[in-house]
Structure 1
Amino acid sequence: MIKKPRPDLGSNHEQPQNRSPEGRSSELAAGEDRRRTSGEVDAVPSNTASNTCIGDFFRPLRWGVDSLYLSFQGDLFRDVEQRLNELKAVAQSSETHEQAFAQYEAGAHVFEVRDKGAGMFPYVLDDNAYRLQFSRSGKKLPMAYAKVSSEYLCHKSAQDIESELRALLEEFGEITDSANVSRIDLYVDFVSSVDMESWTRSAWVTRASSVNAYSVGGRFSGWTVGLGGVIACRLYDKTLEIETSKKGYLRALWSEQGWTDDQKVWRLEFQFRREVLDQKGIQKLYSVLSHLNGLWSYATTEWLRLTEPNPDDKTRARWPVHPLWIAVASVDWEDDGAPLSKRFSPLRAPSDDGLCKMAFSALTSFMARECLWDFNEAWHYLGNRLYDYHATRSNFQGIPFEQMLVERVRLKGRKFNTINNAAEIPHEDRIREGYDEVAREYRKQSRGG
């Protein structure tokens, strides 16, 4: 294979790969001399530290790719496009029970087919691994645009995911080229004794135009720099974020690296969009992955720096770099960022933890209202009350309770990717035409139609 020249990932110089820490330190020092001469900056983080604990202020837990958006050139098969068009119409049905059959099975996935497209991509399919968007056949657009979930990127390498995704997409159409990267986010999760609220906006020296601080419920949650641009940065409290983001799987992965529940985990994350990757000449995934050190170095030494402001020096470019920033800039992307998770499911079903908490809350509320103390007695009474309540409502809507229950389960199965509804019914043609004419007529008569 002929190797292409490495793209320039710095402003004026190439970012070499496969370097020792000492070599990178010399490089950055040389870059510092050049920028000091030009008057751009006075201090650039050196890359002398390994990916281990640096004092008390920085202990990395994991680093890697958090978000990955890929596009594939090709052409959608005509019969697949027709099927997707039919399923999108099913998803748009005014009858909610029909919407349950807006699903597409491919490989090991049972995708939810969405009722709306996304921009120039009229067909959107979802599960816990991928969000797939398809263009119409014969268009100049990429055939498919794929978002890989962050949880899946904790389970498989980006290279393996591309291979798997390409094989999956070949069931939909003819793929004519390897994946292009539309966006990639790189992250480092770390524990630190540094107070992330201890500096002001002026401490961020950046090429971006916006710097913002955030809080949630009076608790400081982090910083964002350059949101909306071709490069953006987030430094935020990940332990706070996962309380609502349903990313509890990270706790087990952090624990493997020595994290304990009483420690706050911060995430530094850089987002690189297609425009900046094009500027660097690294559009293909394999090329981007081979230049992660260069991208990280560019982001943390040229595009953005956290400094220690010097009120006696009006030239912010000469302010010294914060020790924390020196540490995060030193992460070596040639190293393994942490072991991958052993388990992953493409299903989006809620966990036992979430379901049991909701059920227990409902049960104890019912027990308190009815002054009941025995679990089995309360569960029996609650079940009867639940049946009576929904049976009355379903009869009012013109459908037996048992059928309404099945329809709701099918809708949840579509949302959670757990049930292939069409495969559960022996007459799929009838389903495509309206699911169940008996039920439709029953509803009609009950409504006085």
Structure 2
Amino acid sequence: MHIVHQGFDTITLSIQANISQDLFDALDVERETAEENRAPSPFSYGGAEFDLLPHGGNGYRFILKGGPLDVTWFFKKPNARDPWGIRISVGSTLLATQGLGHARAYIDKTLERLGVRFENHQVSIARVDFCVDVLAPDFELNPENFVIHSHSNRGDYLTQDDDRRSNGKSGHFTSVTVGKMPGRQVIVYDKRREVIDKKKPIWWDIWNANLERDGLPPLDASDAATSRIWRIEIRAGKDLLKDRWQVRTWAQLDAMFGDIVAEAFEKVRYCEPSDDGNRARWPNHEIWDLVAVTTDDDLLEMRSFVDPTGIREVHRNEHIRLILAQVAGNATTLAALEGVNEIELVDYMEQVGSRLATVVEDDPEKAAKKLDEAKGRYRFIA
């Protein structure tokens, strides 16, 4: 077993401030365009770049995305009676590749560009997720091996075993969740499967960068027998943070989060069953002892060793692969409709290229407009 990544995975916070009327007016105009097009619209303000979604949600008038770094901004209409007008969700990509310190600096700089002023005590942290990824191809997840409080909730997910047989069973457990949000959750799940199923190729680069740092060979993503990664994730919701630990601000998180994670690993344990009838005396499984020691490190500066410029490249290549597959699929469907047989298919594809060129030549203005729209839509990765 070997740790291939550890660090923060999600941070959600609110800011006790409202956007300016000038920013609201600019967003309102652009949202009309997004609604008309039924698609995100590029939005720039004060040097900050976003994609403005064509809808709001959960009481927020505007939702903006900050590109492939996976940061989402929520803004309310300015209202003096509702001072908590901003919510920010920082996703795993930024936190895994750059660390929490960089994410905090990015938030402060972006809000400064947007003309938002606030003090440290006006930050309220609502959720923090911390994860450890372990390369453990031989690990078998068994929900019955968890030792938890009798009042704790546990959810198990059993999936069909499409790429590995497990002692003759028809399936194996890929996820176990203990606890409920907005309290504390501890989750163990097959991260390799999730990365493949949800098409998140950046994680192979993150894991391989950390393996290279440790002098180990890269993973073969196609071989489950050697590349299965298990994630142990601690999720701290607002009830746990504020009621149990009195954590609201960055300074309080800095001081207390190591203890929050350490307590989670003590309250929920994955164990090796023994003959002892008292489950509380069962010894920890080696994977649990391995991840629990991460609380002794400086959690705030944990990050991978991926080159930040490589993130855009990974996202671009994934989009190119998916779009090319769609183009090939559509062209093959067209061939079937036009009665093309298998032997003629390669030549037919070349003809499709010529026909597409003719479409552009027939209406270059429309083609140029479509190209500009696509460049705007993918400007963060193009």
Q: Structures share a fold, TM > 0.5?
A: yes
Question: Quick check: 1:208–1:225 contact (8 Å CA) kept in 2?
Answer: no
Structure having the larger proportion of residues in helix: 2
Judging changes above 3 Å, is the alpha-carbon distance between structure 1 residues 419 and 249 closer, same or farther for their aligned structure 2 residues?
Answer: closer
Judging changes above 3 Å, is the alpha-carbon distance between structure 1 residues 273 and 407 closer, same or farther for their aligned structure 2 residues?
Answer: farther
Does residue 123 (structure 1) correspond to residue 62 (structure 2)? The answer is yes
Aligned amino acid, residue 174 of structure 1: V
- Give the TM-score of the pair, scaled to structure 1: 0.67
- The one of 274, 278, 283 equivalent to 1:320 is 283
Match in the other structure for 2:232? 268
**How do 1:9-24 and structure 2 match up within 5 A?**
none
Aligned amino acid, residue 205 of structure 2: A
Q: Which whole-Å CA distance do the structure 2 matches of 1:88 and 1:246 have between them?
A: 29
**How do 1:23-422 and structure 2 match up within 5 A?**
58-93=1-36, 96=37, 102-106=41-45, 109-126=48-65, 127-129=67-69, 130-139=71-80, 140-178=82-120, 179-192=123-136, 194-197=138-141, 199-201=142-144, 203-206=146-149, 209-219=152-162, 220=172, 221-256=174-209, 257=211, 258=216, 259-261=218-220, 262-278=226-242, 279-302=244-267, 304-310=268-274, 313=277, 315-331=278-294, 332-334=296-298, 337=302, 339-344=304-309, 350-360=318-328, 369-372=340-343, 377-386=347-356, 402=364, 404-406=366-368, 408-409=370-371, 411-418=373-380
Aligned amino acid, residue 300 of structure 1: F
Q: Secondary structure at the match of 1:291?
A: helix
Aligned-pair CA distance for 1:370? 4.2
Question: Quick check: 2:39–2:53 contact (8 Å CA) kept in 1?
Answer: no
Aligned amino acid, residue 319 of structure 1: W
Judging changes above 3 Å, is the alpha-carbon distance between structure 1 residues 160 and 343 closer, same or farther for their aligned structure 2 residues?
Answer: closer
Aligned-pair CA distance for 1:104? 1.3
Q: Which has the larger radius of gyration?
A: 1
Question: Quick check: 2:8–2:129 contact (8 Å CA) kept in 1?
Answer: yes
Q: Which whole-Å CA distance do the structure 2 matches of 1:320 and 1:355 have between them?
A: 50
Q: Secondary structure at the match of 2:74?
A: strand
- Give the TM-score of the pair, scaled to structure 2: 0.77
Q: Secondary structure at the match of 2:308?
A: coil
Q: Which whole-Å CA distance do the structure 2 matches of 1:70 and 1:196 have between them?
A: 36
Aligned-pair CA distance for 1:136? 1.7
Match in the other structure for 1:438? none
Judging changes above 3 Å, is the alpha-carbon distance between structure 1 residues 60 and 100 closer, same or farther for their aligned structure 2 residues?
Answer: closer
The CA deviation string for residues 296-346 of structure 1, in whole angstroms up to 9 with x for no partner, is: 2111002x1123345662x43333333322222122332764543212467
Q: Secondary structure at the match of 2:269?
A: strand
Aligned amino acid, residue 107 of structure 2: L
Aligned-pair CA distance for 1:374? 8.7
Aligned amino acid, residue 138 of structure 1: N
Aligned-pair CA distance for 1:415? 4.1
Question: Quick check: 2:272–2:284 contact (8 Å CA) kept in 1?
Answer: yes
Question: Quick check: 2:48–2:113 contact (8 Å CA) kept in 1?
Answer: no
Question: Quick check: 1:307–1:321 contact (8 Å CA) kept in 2?
Answer: yes
Q: Which whole-Å CA distance do the structure 1 matches of 2:45 and 2:312 have between them?
A: 12
Judging changes above 3 Å, is the alpha-carbon distance between structure 1 residues 155 and 192 closer, same or farther for their aligned structure 2 residues?
Answer: closer
Judging changes above 3 Å, is the alpha-carbon distance between structure 1 residues 252 and 417 closer, same or farther for their aligned structure 2 residues?
Answer: same
Aligned amino acid, residue 269 of structure 2: R
Q: Secondary structure at the match of 1:154?
A: helix
Aligned amino acid, residue 209 of structure 1: S
Q: Which whole-Å CA distance do the structure 1 matches of 2:56 and 2:151 have between them?
A: 32
Aligned-pair CA distance for 1:71? 1.9
Aligned-pair CA distance for 1:90? 2.2
Aligned-pair CA distance for 1:406? 4.7
- Structure 2 residues not aligned, in runs of 5+: 163-171, 221-225
Judging changes above 3 Å, is the alpha-carbon distance between structure 1 residues 157 and 70 closer, same or farther for their aligned structure 2 residues?
Answer: same
Q: Which whole-Å CA distance do the structure 2 matches of 1:327 and 1:142 have between them?
A: 40
Question: Quick check: 1:128–1:149 contact (8 Å CA) kept in 2?
Answer: no
Question: Quick check: 2:18–2:83 contact (8 Å CA) kept in 1?
Answer: no
- Structure 1 residues not aligned, in runs of 5+: 1-57, 392-399, 421-449
Aligned-pair CA distance for 1:164? 2.1
Aligned-pair CA distance for 1:188? 0.5
The CA deviation string for residues 80-114 of structure 1, in whole angstroms up to 9 with x for no partner, is: 11111222222222xx3xx5683311466532211
Q: Which whole-Å CA distance do the structure 1 matches of 2:105 and 2:252 have between them?
A: 15
Aligned-pair CA distance for 1:403? 5.2
The CA deviation string for residues 139-177 of structure 1, in whole angstroms up to 9 with x for no partner, is: 424232111221111232212221221121123343222
* Cα root mean square deviation, aligned: 3.4
Aligned amino acid, residue 291 of structure 2: V
Question: Quick check: 1:189–1:267 contact (8 Å CA) kept in 2?
Answer: yes
Aligned amino acid, residue 382 of structure 1: V
Q: Which whole-Å CA distance do the structure 1 matches of 2:376 and 2:259 have between them?
A: 42
Q: Aligned residues: percent identity?
A: 18
Q: Which whole-Å CA distance do the structure 2 matches of 1:63 and 1:233 have between them?
A: 15
Q: Which whole-Å CA distance do the structure 2 matches of 1:312 and 1:100 have between them?
A: 59
Q: Which whole-Å CA distance do the structure 2 matches of 1:372 and 1:386 have between them?
A: 22
